[in-house]
Amino acid sequence: MVIEDILEQLKKKIEKNLPQGVTISEVEFEGPQLVIYTEEPRKFADDGNIVRNLAKILRTRIVVRPDPKVLIPPEESIGLIKKTVPEESAITDFHFDPDVGEVIVEAEKPGLVIGKHGETLREITKQVGWTPKVVRTPPIKSRTVNNIREFMKKNHKERKDILKTVGRKIHREPTSKDQWVRVTSLGGCREVGRSSFLLSTPESKVMIDCGVNVGSDDNMTPYLYIPEMQPFKDLDAIILTHAHLDHQGLVPLLYKYGYEGPIYCTPPTRDMMVLLQLDYIDVAAKDGKRIPYESADVRNALKHTIVMDFEEVTDIAPDIKLTFHNAGHIIGSAISHFHIGDGLHNVVITGDFKYGPTRLFNPAVNKFPRVETVITESTYGASNSLQPSLKDAERHLQQVIKNTVQKGGVVVIPAFAVGRSQEVMIVIEEAIRKGIIDEIPVYLDGMIWEATAIHATYPEYLNNDLRKLIFQKGQNPFLSECFKPVDSNELRQKIINEPHPCVILATSGMMSGGPVIEYFKAFAPGENNTLIFVGYQADGTLGRRIQKGWKEIPVSSGRGGTETVEMNMNVEVVDGFSGHSDRRQLMEYFKRMRPQPERIFTEHGDERSCVDLASSLYRKRKVETRALTNLETVRLV
């Protein structure tokens, strides 16, 4: 059956199930959604059950859009919207898109624009005809968020065509009578870096993650050249579990070489993805390395990105539904649940996850409607890979900072821009607010401030405590006056030339480059200063050499040569801030998983960690387990 026939059948089915007097003019697929156009958007707004009932009957996501001829002019609509929405919502911008009949309302308090159970949104539609979409005004000005929003506005016509093509591909008629499910490991098995998998059925091919191992020249990219992956244009979708480069850093390369399909991820992952991809090619170019793609490829990937919230069931292929669940690793990180066929098989791919409390996120989800196969990360899967409790880590960090500040010293913390930096920021802010640490400036250098701005834009993705603090008490710890972004080389030099008690959070996390090197060179000779490692330092990195106790450290002089830095500052390692589950948490995650899976495959860890976790889960859970290797294909059904 051709797609036009499918749409005609759907239209007849919708019309049959509409209340008397409600009419529609057209139906069309846009991405995973079925769009219903109507000259009576107010009737749909009056009765919220109409769309709910249709979605239940058709078993798909439905969006109602007004026919262009019934829309009130934008200027008049703005006045009516402002009358409808409480003034304290603090609306900052409107954008009208007549092609889809939508008005994007940007507000500091979007919840007040939405209203209880969406009542205010429905009232807006009744007043103006336009379908309102609400976005948060970033509380911290974010270049990334602003650029992405402007880009999406400017490219809305092309994006609508892309979504139409995607939608028709998703909802095509299945052709194969065979039923099987296979998973192929393209990278990240018995190693960390270049994570990538291919999930295949007779109907569909879906790629999960496409990472780059920036620390390796030999094993930098996934095995993208194997027959199953060629040509890229045959892929139905790319799913991103989160924004770290080892999971998404090579996605624009796929577009460079022919992929034209969608990327599915959460909204924060999309924004972080763009930030980190552009930084990756910028750093590679500065280091004289070959860049794998251009910024135009990043923009092309963004154009094809479809965002999904947690717990939202979405069709991504004729026989595959996807649901994202909180992974607790970094902002927007998602455990991906794939429902394949009509109940044929259910696969969960965890990506990186944290099954434990953190200052930023709720613990990873491990309750699913159904699950037969799980593919899990094993970063700390070895039997001796145990982390201190978060409370112990926080006390240790606060005490080290307190001692250094009392001596008049400077604390330097090398940190990755996304995740751990924000965790440490929350702990320091609370310690200053409660008087545990003196009131000192906390300088944020590198991408940390921009990444923090993205966290502040999406507080709904933070944990329950932070959400209560932000939404109910009006306190956003990221907006604390103690945080000072280092937004110029002049300010950086001033901090270096006029030392005073402070904390400096700077990239990169393993001291492999970035602004942290400048601070290290300046403050390493001082005996009252302290360098605090809050993350893993890989072999061969400058951070690992310092951990080993080197007293004379060779670093780049910035003029093509090296200089030796005399190391007198104190060095402290504070474990416990990891965004990964340790061995205890991994075992507990599967112990409490419901329902219990039939098989568990391990990946994303060194060989010992993957094998150790697989064998322990086999002994404890009495299920089939296996440590996957790169380039193998496993049939699941």
What percentage of the chain carries pLDDT values higher than 90?
Answer: 81
Mean pLDDT along residues 26-32: 94
Same domain for 230 and 187: yes
Same domain for 322 and 233: yes
Domain carrying residue 313: 179-384+580-635
User: Helix axis angle, 267-286 relative to 295-303, nearest 10°?
Assistant: 170
What CATH number does residue 617 fall under? 3.60.15.10
Question: For residue 560, what pLDDT band results from cuts at 50, 70 and 90?
Answer: low
Determine the pLDDT at residue 506. Answer: 94
Give yes or no for residue 184 having a pLDDT over 70: yes
Determine the pLDDT at residue 99. Answer: 83
Determine the pLDDT at residue 132. Answer: 93
Question: For residue 189, what pLDDT band results from cuts at 50, 70 and 90?
Answer: very high
Same domain for 155 and 23: yes
Q: Which residues does residue 634 pair with via DSSP β-bridges, in sequence order? A: 183
Same domain for 450 and 310: no
Nearest to residue 182, comparing CAs of 161, 205, 160, 159? 205
Same domain for 398 and 346: no
Mean pLDDT along residues 564-579: 91
Same domain for 29 and 55: yes
Structure tokens at 39: 């000259």
Structure tokens at 91: 């609306």
Question: For residue 559, what pLDDT band results from cuts at 50, 70 and 90?
Answer: low
| Domain end (from 172, 206, 227) | 172
| Domain end (from 529, 545, 573) | 573
CA distance 628 to 265: 25
Three-state SS string over 381-436 comes to CCCCCCCCCHHHHHHHHHHHHHHHHHCCCEEEEECCCCCHHHHHHHHHHHHHHCCC
Same domain for 448 and 417: yes
pLDDT tens-place string over residues 299-339: 999 999 999 999 999 999 999 999 999 999 999 999 999 99
Terminal-residue alpha carbon distance, the chain: 27
Question: For residue 417, what pLDDT band results from cuts at 50, 70 and 90?
Answer: confident
Same domain for 493 and 399: yes
* 237-239 and 263-265 beta bridge pairing: parallel
DSSP designation for 239 = E
Bond prior to 595 in cis (omega within 30° of 0): yes
Same domain for 485 and 403: yes
What CATH number does residue 30 fall under? 3.30.300.230
Report the number of distinct structural domains present in the chain. 3
Give yes or no for residue 397 having a pLDDT over 80: yes
Same domain for 439 and 521: yes
Give yes or no for residue 67 having a pLDDT over 90: no
| Domain end (from 573, 607, 623) | 573
pLDDT tens-place string over residues 73-128: 999 999 999 999 999 999 999 999 988 889 999 999 999 999 998 999 999 999 99
Same domain for 306 and 238: yes
pLDDT tens-place string over residues 170-183: 999 888 889 999 99
Mean pLDDT along residues 587-607: 97
Question: For residue 558, what pLDDT band results from cuts at 50, 70 and 90?
Answer: low
CA distance 612 to 378: 9
pLDDT tens-place string over residues 150-172: 999 999 999 999 999 999 999 99
Same domain for 376 and 251: yes
Mean pLDDT along residues 584-601: 98
What CATH number does residue 558 fall under? 3.40.50.10890
**What average pLDDT is seen over the chain?**
93
Pick from 397-411, 501-515, 594-608: least confident: 501-515
Determine the pLDDT at residue 623. Answer: 96
